[in-house]
Chains A and B, each alone.
Chain A
Amino acid sequence: MKVADADFALDRREQTVTSAVRDYWARVRGGELGALPSIFSLASLVILFTALRPETFLSERNIANLFVQAMSVTILALGLVFVLLLGEIDLSAGVTSGVCAAVMAKLMTEAGQPWYVTVPAALLTGLVIGTCIGLLVAVVRIPSFVVTLALFLGLQGVTLRLIGEGGTVPVRDEVIVALANDNMPIWLGWTLAVLCTAWFAASQLLRWRRQRRRGLARRPLGLVLAQIAVVGAALLGLTFLMGLDRAPSPAIVLNGVPWGVPLVGVLVITATFVLNRTVYGRHVYAVGGNAEAARRAGIHVTAIRMSVFMIASTLAAVAGMVDASRLNSVTPDAGAGNVLLYAVGAAVIGGTSLFGGKGRARDAVLGGLVVTVIINGLGLLGSPAYMQMLITGGVLLLAASIDALARRRQAATGR
């Protein structure tokens, strides 16, 4: 089919990097900020803390620490991205992670079950909690805010009952403990990093070539290459940094990528695939953007609404187990307090909108890193707990304000 030249000028013109950058800038000014705020705040926070604590903040040891600390908040935020995409909220995600971790730990210590029994049990617990929230929100139509606020309280009671007041359940299973405490062999880390980079480059380039051959809308090649370079540099650079010896004493060697990092990687890649490449993901965005349009298009809105809570709670279970691994134990207040605030903050700082319809899986990673850098940096500065709370709360408010203002800007410029 021959398409007249006047039509779809943008699709047909070979875009240059300059024109693409100009388009991008126009979008940013129109309120479509993308990853910009999170990358900007990450960079400035790293500079700030490096300036304040030049010895400790960028030490090999602290960098590895940062990634281990960021794992659970990232996984929790990843689940919340699905919920936020529908414009809903799950305030109970944090305590759900606590309950699931408690279930896992109790099964290990009291029933002596191995990890391949306790992990599925914890995941199932998360799935059941998510199904309950989903039923109450999507079928009974109670606002998710109320349902999950009730569970936020109720589930803390469950954890307390499971573990007992003042008690602590130790986690000693080797596989679980290894998640946050052991590192991959150096060769495996490099192999994974190189494979991931190669796979990313190949998939992006093949896609670009296919789009070009069929005359579809595509990004300029220069931009694709730049993105591959950035992703590759990040992956390989981090593998290098983690490969450096970070043992506190020269007598031993401690290096390698923590086992939890590839776990987070797999989860984020899977979520990205589901959201961008599958019918289900498309429908999640559609319901978040305009539920009525989705309903008229024959999309099962109730099922989609239920499913996001199931995903969020199941991922919360994973986050809870990663945290249990990091702390080597589960306490009655696991997942309570500011855990959820951090995760919501991570998703929103990453660029996921609280109003629904806008967000990506990678937001959880970028936002999770920002939140962790704040917590970690303030810890190194030795600031009191009240300061950490004040600052983290402030950052979340700031991120939400940027989200709201960007949205107004988008409405004003018709984007």
Chain B
Amino acid sequence: MADVADEKTPVLRLAGVNKSFGAVKVLHDVDFAVYRGKVTALVGDNGAGKSTLIKCIAGIHPIDSGQFYFEGRPVSISTPRDAAALGIEVVYQDLALADNLDIVQNMFLGRERRRGLVLDEASMEESARQTLSKLSVRTVKSVRQLVSSLSGGQRQTVAIAKAVLWESKVVILDEPTAALGVAQTRQVLELVRRLADTGHAVVLISHNMNDVFEVADRITALYLGRVAADVAREEVTSTQVVELITAGRSGDLGLASTAESM
């Protein structure tokens, strides 16, 4: 089985993670790994457990059993604070930006720098601009623009830049292109690629096969809470991935073809 054989240690690895909500078992023995400089696409139908999985990684839902490894070390993530301390940042679908604040203010929200009692606006503005230009964001006119004046793509960009600002190692993007037009989707996908190229481990959750095949290095497909496949992008076709999502198997790949269901 073509699998987790990468020469490097994964930045983050989940082994045998289980999670239930009451009687409903949402994640079954999930193994999941993300690598530095790689985009890992996490695909699956509605209810496959994608959101639950990232919420476990983000520390919002504590896991029932299983183990997290961060850069090879076993770690436990039980609160969002733990995740942030490890350098795991999640960009949620509903962006979580305040419209009435500008880009700099949003990027530093909750982690403002200050000198004594006073906000250190100068250093925050410089860092925000550096981060944005490191990601080659070219569409923003001013970092002092209100977020309410930005387009959907620009907002997504700001949300992603906010996650990157904190020297994060793992950036998880939840459907970043879901509400965007063609041109803006392109911008965001380019940004996702650059995130990986600047040394982040990126997890991309998406329903859109075009997006997945455009930027992903690896694809992990979830089917009813189980990992149906974890493959390199070159090894599969779009059709195979769609089958993995909808049926959990495709030819040799998938749940039913393995000796046991993992």
Residues of A within 8 A of B (CB): 1, 3-4, 6-11, 210-211, 214, 216-217, 277-279, 282-283, 285-286, 288-290, 292-294, 296-299, 357-358, 410, 414-415
Contact = CB atoms under 8 A, between A and B. Distances in A.
A296 B149 contact: no
A10 B141 contact: yes
B179 interface: no
A403 B242 CA distance: 49
A229 to B, nearest CB: 24
B118 interface: yes
B118 A357 contact: no
Given A1-B130, A297-B110, A414 B119 contact: no
Contacts of B105: 282, 285-286
B98 to A, nearest CB: 4
Contacts of B148: 410, 414-415
Given A294-B109, A299-B109, A7 B98 contact: no
A147 to B, nearest CB: 25
A250 B47 CA distance: 87
Given A282-B105, A357-B99, A3 B129 contact: yes
Contact of A289 (B98, B119, B126): B98
A288 B100 contact: yes
Given A210-B122, A278-B118, A8 B129 contact: yes
A294 B133 contact: no
Contact of B126 (A10, A216, A285, A358): A216
Interface in B215-248: none
A294 B121 CA distance: 19
A371 B12 CA distance: 61
Nearest to B137: A7
Secondary structure of the B contact surface, majority rule: loop
B125 A286 contact: no
Contacts of A214: 122, 126
Contact of B112 (A279, A290, A292, A357): A279
B163 to A, nearest CB: 12
Interface in B111-148: 111-112, 114, 117-119, 121-122, 125-126, 129-130, 132-133, 136-138, 140-146, 148
A278 to B, nearest CB: 6
B260 to A, nearest CB: 39
A298 B99 CA distance: 17
Contact of A8 (B100, B118, B143): B143
B122 A7 contact: no
B109 A7 contact: no
Contacts of A293: 95-98, 106, 109
Contacts of B189: none
Contact of A294 (B98, B119, B126, B140): B98
Contacts of B126: 214, 216
Contacts of A216: 121-122, 125-126
Contacts of B99: 289-290, 357
Contact of B109 (A3, A286, A357): A286
Nearest to A291: B98
A348 B146 CA distance: 21
Interface of B: 92, 94-101, 105-106, 109-112, 114, 117-119, 121-122, 125-126, 129-130, 132-133, 136-138, 140-146, 148-149, 151
Contacts of B121: 216
Contact of B142 (A217, A282, A298): A217
A294 B108 CA distance: 11
Contacts of A283: 110
Contacts of B141: 8-11
Contacts of B98: 285-286, 289-290, 293-294, 357
A283 B148 CA distance: 17
A357 B148 CA distance: 12
Nearest to A11: B142
A210 B101 CA distance: 22
A9 B121 CA distance: 19
Contact of A297 (B109, B138, B151): B109
Contacts of A278: 114, 117-119
Contacts of A299: 109-110
B54 to A, nearest CB: 14
A208 to B, nearest CB: 12
Given A277-B119, A286-B98, A414 B114 contact: no
28 contacts: A3-B133, A7-B129, A7-B137, A7-B140, A8-B132, A8-B141, A8-B143, A10-B142, A10-B145, A11-B129, A11-B141, A211-B122, A217-B142, A217-B143, A217-B144, A278-B117, A278-B119, A279-B119, A282-B101, A282-B105, A282-B112, A285-B105, A286-B109, A289-B99, A293-B95, A294-B98, A297-B96, A358-B100
